[in-house]
Structure 1
Amino acid sequence: MESEEGKLLISELNVHPQHSASYAVVDWKLYASSIKNVSSATNVSSVFIYFDEYIFTELTEDKGNATICQGDLCCHLTYRMVEKRKDEVYALGVFNGLHVVQGQFYLQICTLLKCKTANMTTCGKPVETSSTLFEEFSLSGTFGTNYVFPEVLFSGVHLAPETFKVLKDGRLISQSSVSSKPLLTVTLYGRWYEKDSTKQLPALSQHFS
């Protein structure tokens, strides 16, 4: 990071959000499950991240659709870049399984991210900066759990809470301000608690950058 100094971030959360006028129930697999005749992904690479085997497919064009599946989890992405840079590679990745290192907890993850280099084997390795601007994106998955947490990061590992929204059908989509800064990652983290080890139930505590 730019500095070794840390800082405490505090936010006030509503413990009963369903009582709020802005609360909406999300069916996280509704949109993704409606997509039929899914074609097989191309330029596919298998990469281990935190000892978990992810599958990635490279985004070779400046716009289009991409799908990647692992087991019964399929991740769907629609995107449009301002410009496809030759020096930066982006990929759509999926992980669907039990994480077994330093605890056991079941994850379902769909992620759009910048790879560290042009080599697909570096997808998922730590990256802090990017130069590619996206005009729009829409990410969804056929999640088996209702506990799905969205995250969007800009270059510099900056959170971007005002640049996306979640639709009731489970799509994580961009807002108009998304093209203002280079994009680092767009991720949907799913936690399937019922499939965790009965001995340990740790919270999700990883991020891609």
Structure 2
Amino acid sequence: MKRRSDALPLVLLATAGWTLVAVVMLFELRIFTWLFVFGYLVLGLAYLAAAICTVVAVAGLWRRAGPRWAVPVLVACLLAPAGIYATDWVYAFATGYYRAFRHDFATVAAMSSRGEVNPREYYGDPLPRAVRHLSVNGRVAHIVALDHDSGATFLPQWEGVPDGAVGFAYLDPGTPPDAELDCFADQCRVRYTLGDGWYWLTRG
């Protein structure tokens, strides 16, 4: 029992290190929008922290509990980068964020249906404070379809330099899901269907 109680904090330390990497990957789009190329520094520091946590945890487990604990933890930590690399973090973010804040997305959809999203402001107008977190820049824009007389209400989650964006879109009536849209000077199209008229747009 004592070995188990001694080992648990070190197992949690290793887990925390790789959880940090996963969280950074989950919010990678927003991090790179806010920090530009310094986002790579954040990502690198997260991996460095995970590696340090792994070394400290495995070494401590070997001393306190022997290979029975240390080896499985080491194997799990070595496999963690492969699992992180194989995960579609864009899908995880898009679906998870939408499900977590579905009510707030419904608020923006209602604004769009009432014609409260200004199509004349290219990069959009500020969102109400309560739902400002839905957009990486705190704004909601109306983007146009390139081959239809319609468009979509757009909540960017990543913005490029100088142009381009990806994010959530609430399609106008008459805009087909396969339409190409103008995401701040980049062509974008639907990648994921989220429900209730909401989609995830990606470049290409």
Q: Which TM-score band applies after superposition, normalised by the shorter structure? A: under 0.3
Greater share of helix: 2
Greater share of strand: 1
Q: Which has the larger radius of gyration?
A: 2
Q: Which has the higher contact order (CA 8 A, sep 6+)?
A: 1
TM-score, with structure 2 as normaliser? 0.26
TM-score, with structure 1 as normaliser? 0.25
